[in-house]
Amino acid sequence: MEQKNIEDNRDNPLGILPVNRLLIKFAVPSIIAMLVSALYNIVDQFFIGRSVGNLGNAATNIAFPLSITCIAIALLFGIGGASSFNLSMGAGDNKAAAYYIGNAATMLFALGTLLSIFTQVFMAQLMEFFGSPSDVMDYAVEYTRITSIGFPFLIFTTGGGHLIRADGSPAMTMACNMAGAVINTILDAIFVFGFKMGMAGAALATIIGQVISAIMVLVYLFNYKTVDLKAVHLKPQRKYISKILSLGAAPFSNQVAMMVVQIVMNKSLKHYGSLSVYGETVPVACVGIITKVNQVFFSFLIGISQGLQPIASFNYGAKKYVRVKNVYMRAIFYGAVLSVTAFIMFQVFPGNIIAVFGDGSDEYFRFAINYFRIFLFFTFINFMQPVTSNFFTAIGKPKRGIFLSLTRQIIFLLPLLIILPFVMGIDGIMYAGPVADCMAGIASIIMVSAELKNPEYNSR
């Protein structure tokens, strides 16, 4: 039976079709899905900024570490489950593949529910820990009290999208995410501008969109194409969860690192802002907007890296190493083009971008423009770290992926955020970003160069 599965999988399009064609097929829907996910935050930021103002924008930034936590859990079991599934399919082990999908789906919703309960119980303590200024606290609690109800659905949708993509249906992943985002946008306009519901309206619109998307994901998973997913596959088993955790650890670690950095960033902005002409709230509000704009750019890079995953995983499992190298190099090329484009936009049009999200004082715009240009200066090299980290995860080398995922946020950026402000004040926070970006890019180049020198990647 195993030999038959191997023979059948030799005809899998992932191992036959041109890698560039496959990458476009998988990456474009992934990019759109990630953009749609980012739009949840951007749309809320727009409507809140236009109706509530700077305090509302600051509140969404205070709550942002919880959104990052949701994405971390989603990637842990989404990418981990998808990578395990594709590696098993490439090796001809179709039986185990079904358990990876089922176990991942169960854990996504279960952990989302636990996170929701934890947030509701410790709401005020969390907002204070995340660095909320006193005049922002009520807005942050009001917004998060509602959005946390949707955590199980957000995590299930985001992680489930990776499981759907692993089944060869990237367009369906895109559709699930897009449906929720469109609903969120329409309801934001109705609740915030029409019914004047403010923070609560934006939060309610968000969770309604997430519930609709989660239902679409659930329906697809029980109509999976490549394996017959049954109830028995949903029961968590240690051996499958262990493999999922090992392969999902790199993107999970990257998100956890982002969360830690975001918390330290908020606290630093609050403290050093109070010692500057900007005050406590202006830096927190500005960085909240810029972070979410940068998230839109990273949606392209993460989408490319996610599009790479099933192709690299399957071909590595099938021992087609030249195809693995080719798809990585193509992903790097597209990432470089996008990164240079984003760099030009961030350097030339920072004032225009920040103005989209509402008015502010002269200090508000001065800080925002400086932060855009300085903190994001090395945007043109930022494609290396996420693509390369996910590449190592996709080929079953999670330790290298984990290390790379930690380079920018934990190994480089976090110490710089603590050290530089002692010397430079709030400007030190700005300069920590480009230094960390540059060093993470160099580390990625060194590690992937060593990997691709292995003879199997160059044999014909």
Token readout for 356 is: 């989209």
For position 319, what pLDDT does the model report?
A: 86
Q: Where are the alpha helices (DSSP H) in 52-130?
A: 54-90, 94-121, 123-129
Say if residues 434 and 375 touch (Cβ distance below 8 Å): yes
pLDDT per residue over 166-225, tens digit each?
Answer: 898 878 988 888 898 889 889 988 998 888 888 899 899 999 999 999 999 999 998 998
The structure tokens listed for 94 are 């179709």
- HSE on the CB side for 230, CA within 13 Å? 4
pLDDT band (50, 70, 90) for residue 7: very low
Percentage with pLDDT > 90 across the chain = 46
Question: pLDDT at residue 42 above 90?
Answer: no
From residue 101, give the alpha-carbon distance in Å to each of 234, 376, 393, 448: 8, 37, 17, 29
Q: Is 5 exposed, middle or buried (0-12, 13-18, 19+ CB in 10 A)?
A: middle
Looking at 225-303, which runs of residues are DSSP E strands?
A: none
Taking each helix axis as running N to C, give the angle between helix 384-394 and helix 398-406, from 0 to 180 degrees, rounded to the nearest 10. Answer: 160
pLDDT at 6 over 60: no
Rounded CA-CA distance 324/315 in Å is 6
The one-letter amino acid at 193 = F
Rounded to two decimals, the pTM is 0.76
The three-class DSSP label of residue 23 is helix
Higher pLDDT, 228 or 116: 116
User: Which comes out higher in pLDDT, residue 8 or 309?
Assistant: 309
User: Which 8-state DSSP code applies to residue 377?
Assistant: G
Cα radius of gyration rounded to whole Å, the chain: 22
Please say whether the beta carbons of 58 and 288 come within 8 A: yes
For residue 353, what are its two tokens? 């971008």
* Higher-confidence position of 29 and 60: 60
- Mean pLDDT, the chain, whole residue set: 88
Count CA atoms closer than 13 A to 342's CA, side-chain side: 25
Of 222, 182, 188, 186, nearest to 203 by C-alpha is 188
Q: For 72-103, write each residue's pLDDT tens digit.
A: 999 999 989 998 998 898 888 888 899 999 99
The CA-based angle 50-138-351, given to 5 degrees, is 30
- CA 47 – CA 143 distance, rounded (Å): 13
Phi, psi of 359 (to 5 degrees): -85, 170
CA distance 390 to 86: 14
pLDDT digits (tens, 9 = 90+) for 237-267: 999 999 999 988 877 887 887 888 889 988 9
Task: Specify burial of residue 179 (Cβ count, 10 A radius: 0-12, 13-18, 19+).
Answer: middle
CA nearest 143: which of 203, 207, 83?
Answer: 203
pLDDT mean over 41-49? 77
| pLDDT (0 to 100) of residue 11 | 63
CB 217 within 8 A of CB 112: no
| CA dihedral (62, 64, 67, 72) positive or negative | negative
Structure tokens at 387: 């693509």
Is the pLDDT at 3 greater than 60? The verdict is no
Residue 16, judged by CB atoms within 10 A of its CB (0-12, 13-18, 19+), counts as: exposed
Q: Report the alpha-carbon distance of residue 403 to residue 408 in Å, rounded.
A: 10
Instruction: Answer yes or no: is pLDDT of 425 > 60.
Output: yes
Amino acid at 203: A
